[in-house]
């Protein structure tokens, strides 16, 4: 494939590898991108979603996330037609002069054959997947899932689910399985190691996709704030009545942290969790590094052997600590005041 020749670029994530930042950057200035022969289509019905192909991925899986359902209650996922969605995404693409980018971190390995069938055979396709070591990745993914109220379970249960079950709702971090499925369907899958390119994710994507550099594209704020260890523990410690109640709990937790200057992010992964991750993914990681000819740098996907460092903390000891007790008391007080105000306002809306 000639450099910068028109192509279809399929960015498949993974989640928690700066996908949202990349997607928002790709949509920061559409006119600028098209000057550089890059087209990023947007479906109006889900224009507020960062990933322009997330609706297509949802249609392929028929399994919307809870976050998707809350944001788009009017969309009947069972009625979505992937063929029609592809046609809508590609209808304004100038096939002879520009490349088109489709991005969704909820694409899964089993989507690869069907997506290859749906996309035109007249243009070459490039699949790009960002990966990172599973222990750090799961920490970040777990944090996000708790923050968005997608799950309410301890991290050991979450690790077990990712190691032992298949499915489409959660992303299973078997990177070789992802690579193999997309390579088999599309002929290749470009792997980008997040830890190698974290300082320039956008540039790494452009290079992997074989697209023309876009030096004049506006930068955007990259920050996506994770829950700190106190906020994470607090939300796991409480069972919300409904999503509105969860949001009030989360708001109270985020308000309490700066008041007590408690901002540190730490991992709740235990030695048993780390061992389970190594047993499940080390061989797969080795196969991926071998396939890519990257065995000279095995540390890229080497998981921690022990939780005996300051970046980890024992959840039972943490919940029993005085610092968490003070934090919980303050967060509960903030929540109670906000809940009282919420009930008071509700009375006047009736």
Q: What is the pLDDT of residue 166?
A: 65
Span 19-56, pLDDT tens digits: 999 999 999 999 999 999 999 999 999 999 999 999 99
Beta strand extents in 123-218 (DSSP E only): 125-131, 190-193
Please name the residues in contact with 51: beta carbons below 8 A apart, sequence gap of 6 or more: 19, 20, 23, 57, 103, 104, 105, 106
**49, two tokens:** 């979603």
User: Which residues are registered as beta bridge partners of 102?
Assistant: 10
**127, two tokens:** 């699949």
What confidence category does residue 339 fall into, taking pLDDT thresholds of 50, 70 and 90?
A: confident
H helical segments located in 193-261: 194-197, 201-209, 229-237, 243-259
**238, two tokens:** 């409480």
Span 235-291, pLDDT tens digits: 999 888 899 999 999 999 999 999 999 988 999 999 999 999 999 999 999 999 999
Span 115-154, pLDDT tens digits: 999 999 999 999 999 999 999 999 999 999 999 999 999 9
Q: What is the pLDDT of residue 241?
A: 81
What confidence category does residue 1 fall into, taking pLDDT thresholds of 50, 70 and 90?
A: low
What confidence category does residue 346 fall into, taking pLDDT thresholds of 50, 70 and 90?
A: low
Angle 272-277-282 (CA atoms, 0-180°, nearest 5)?
135
For residues 297 and 279, the model is more confident at: 279
Q: What is the pLDDT of residue 169?
A: 77
- Give dist(CA 188, CA 104) in Å, integer: 18
* Count of CA atoms in the C-beta half-sphere (13 A) of 169: 13
Q: What is the pLDDT of residue 63?
A: 86
> Minimum mean pLDDT among 5-14, 79-88, 166-175, 247-256: which range?
166-175
Span 55-101, pLDDT tens digits: 999 999 988 999 999 999 999 999 999 999 999 999 999 999 999 99
Picking from 295, 289, 310, the residue whose alpha carbon sits closest to that of residue 229 is 310
Angle 194-199-203 (CA atoms, 0-180°, nearest 5)?
80
Chain-centroid distance of CA 264 in Å reads: 21
> Minimum mean pLDDT among 11-15, 280-284, 295-299, 317-321: which range?
295-299
Are 209 and 127 a contacting pair, CB within 8 Å?
no
* Count of CA atoms in the C-beta half-sphere (13 A) of 117: 8
Q: What is the pLDDT of residue 77?
A: 95
Are 301 and 133 a contacting pair, CB within 8 Å?
yes
- Give dist(CA 66, CA 89) in Å, integer: 24
* Residue with tokens 């052997």, as numbered in its chain: 305
């Amino acid at each position: 494939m000639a450099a910068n020749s028109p192509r279809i670029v399929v960015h498949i994530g993974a989640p928690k590898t700066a996908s949202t930042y990349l997607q928002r950057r790709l949509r920061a200035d559409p006119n600028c991108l098209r000057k550089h022969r890059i087209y990023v289509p947007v479906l109006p019905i889900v224009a507020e979603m960062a990933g322009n192909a997330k609706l297509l991925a949802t249609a392929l899986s028929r399994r919307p996330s809870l976050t998707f359902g809350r944001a788009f209650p009017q969309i009947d996922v069972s009625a979505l037609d992937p063929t029609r969605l592809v046609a809508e995404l590609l209808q304004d693409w100038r096939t002879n002069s520009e490349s088109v980018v489709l991005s969704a971190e909820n694409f899964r390995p089993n989507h690869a054959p069907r997506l290859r069938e749906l996309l035109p055979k007249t243009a070459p396709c490039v699949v790009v997947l960002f990966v990172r070591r599973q222990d750090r990745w799961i920490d970040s993914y777990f944090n996000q899932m708790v923050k968005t109220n997608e799950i309410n379970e301890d991290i050991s249960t979450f690790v077990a689910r990712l190691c032992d079950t298949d499915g489409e709702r959660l992303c299973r971090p078997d990177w070789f399985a992802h690579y193999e499925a997309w390579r088999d369907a599309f002929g290749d899958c470009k792997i980008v190691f997040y830890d190698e390119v974290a300082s320039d994710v956008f540039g790494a994507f452009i290079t992997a996709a074989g697209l023309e550099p876009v030096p004049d594209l506006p930068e955007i704020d990259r920050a996506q704030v994770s829950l700190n260890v106190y906020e994470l523990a607090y939300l796991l410690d409480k069972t919300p009545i409904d999503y509105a109640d969860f949001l009030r709990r989360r708001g109270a937790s985020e308000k309490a942290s700066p008041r007590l200057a408690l901002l540190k992010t730490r991992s709740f992964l235990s030695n048993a969790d780390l061992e389970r991750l190594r047993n499940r993914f080390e061989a797969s990681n080795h196969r991926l590094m071998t396939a890519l000819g990257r065995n000279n740098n095995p540390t890229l996907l080497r998981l921690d052997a022990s939780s005996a460092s300051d970046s980890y903390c024992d959840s039972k000891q943490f919940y029993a600590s005085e610092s968490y007790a003070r934090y919980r008391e303050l967060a509960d007080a903030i929540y109670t005041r906000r809940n009282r105000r919420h009930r008071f306002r509700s009375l006047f809306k009736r």
